[in-house]
């Protein structure tokens, strides 16, 4: 029997999440001005250090904008945010990806995966592509849902790495956790075989250096999650 280590969030994390929640719920709207830092200290019972660090984190995620000599204002997090903002939205939704975020994420993968498979065909060695086949063989073996989804994301992460596009590889790596959750949602509704069939088809195209069909099946595999009979939204 194993147990996971329990860790409590820091005061700064609690401060940040409370402000994030008010923004994501709509209680605080873009353009609203937050109370001055010292007033927030009194209201929330935290130190000035916590407030300043928390505001800095919120600004880095695009939730607020600090205007020198004017104050701190709620910002448009969609226009100013980043992947960390996306994770905050998921956390606000209780760890679940809602339909809007699922569609947004998948539409991005449709475009990116088409590019990545083309780059793999042009740049990766036969040995590197064969490593994808080894991961795919593992995906086909019986595993629990979580482990299966980990292997699926391993396959695509490797594909992004061997494309030799460092930006896309780092971007994929930064979003692995929500992608695992999305694959779990898809497999719970449609079963694993649909995913395996598409992965096998894409892999065959990579081995055969067939750019046209690789792009087509890579895109359609992602698109099936949001359109057609396999859609989960």
| Residue range 210-233, pLDDT digits in tens | 999 999 999 999 999 999 999 998
Mean pLDDT of 6-25: 89
Q: Tell me: do 199 and 114 sit in the same domain.
A: yes
80 and 184 share a domain? no
Strands (E), the chain: 64-67, 71-74
pTM of the model: 0.78
User: Under the phi-then-psi rule, with left for phi > 0, alpha for psi from -120 to 50, and beta for the rest, what region is 197?
Assistant: alpha
In the listed set 31, 61, 85, which residue is the last one of a domain according to the structure? 85
Is the confidence at residue 138, as pLDDT, over 90? yes
Across the chain, what does the average pLDDT equal? 93
For position 174, what pLDDT does the model report? 86
Q: Which residues contact 198 (CB under 8 A, 6 or more apart)?
A: 217, 220, 221, 224
* Domains held by the chain: number: 2
- Residues 125 and 214 reside in one and the same domain: yes
Where a domain ends, among 38, 61, 85? 85
Same domain, 58 and 152: no
* Shared domain check, 104 and 80: no
Query: Is residue 185 located within the same domain as residue 73?
Result: no
Residues 108 and 25 in one domain: no
CA 206, CA 60: separation in Å to the nearest integer? 39
- Please tell me the predicted confidence (pLDDT) of residue 197: 97
Query: What pLDDT shows up at residue 94?
Result: 81
């Amino acid at each position: 029997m194993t147990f996971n280590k329990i860790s409590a969030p820091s005061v700064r994390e609690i401060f940040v999440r409370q402000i994030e929640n008010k923004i994501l719920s709509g209680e605080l709207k873009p353009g609203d001005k937050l109370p001055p830092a010292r007033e927030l200290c009194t209201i929330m019972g935290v130190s000035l250090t916590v407030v300043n660090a928390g505001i800095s984190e919120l600004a880095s995620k695009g939730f607020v904008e600090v205007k020198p000599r004017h104050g701190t204002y709620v910002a448009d997090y969609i226009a100013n945010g980043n992947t960390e903002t996306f994770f905050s939205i998921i956390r606000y939704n209780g760890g679940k990806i809602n339909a809007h975020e699922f569609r947004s994420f998948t539409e991005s993968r449709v475009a990116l995966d088409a590019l990545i498979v083309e780059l793999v065909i042009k740049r990766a060695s036969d040995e590197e592509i064969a490593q994808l086949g080894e991961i795919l063989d593992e995906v086909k073996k019986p595993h629990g849902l979580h482990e299966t989804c980990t292997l699926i994301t391993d396959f695509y992460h490797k594909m992004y790495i061997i494309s030799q596009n460092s930006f896309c590889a780092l971007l994929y790596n930064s979003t692995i956790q929500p992608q695992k959750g999305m694959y779990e949602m898809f497999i719970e509704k449609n079963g694993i075989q649909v995913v395996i069939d598409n992965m096998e088809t894409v892999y065959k195209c990579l081995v055969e250096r067939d750019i046209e069909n690789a792009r087509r099946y890579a895109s359609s595999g992602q698109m099936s999650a949001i359109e057609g009979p396999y859609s989960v939204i």
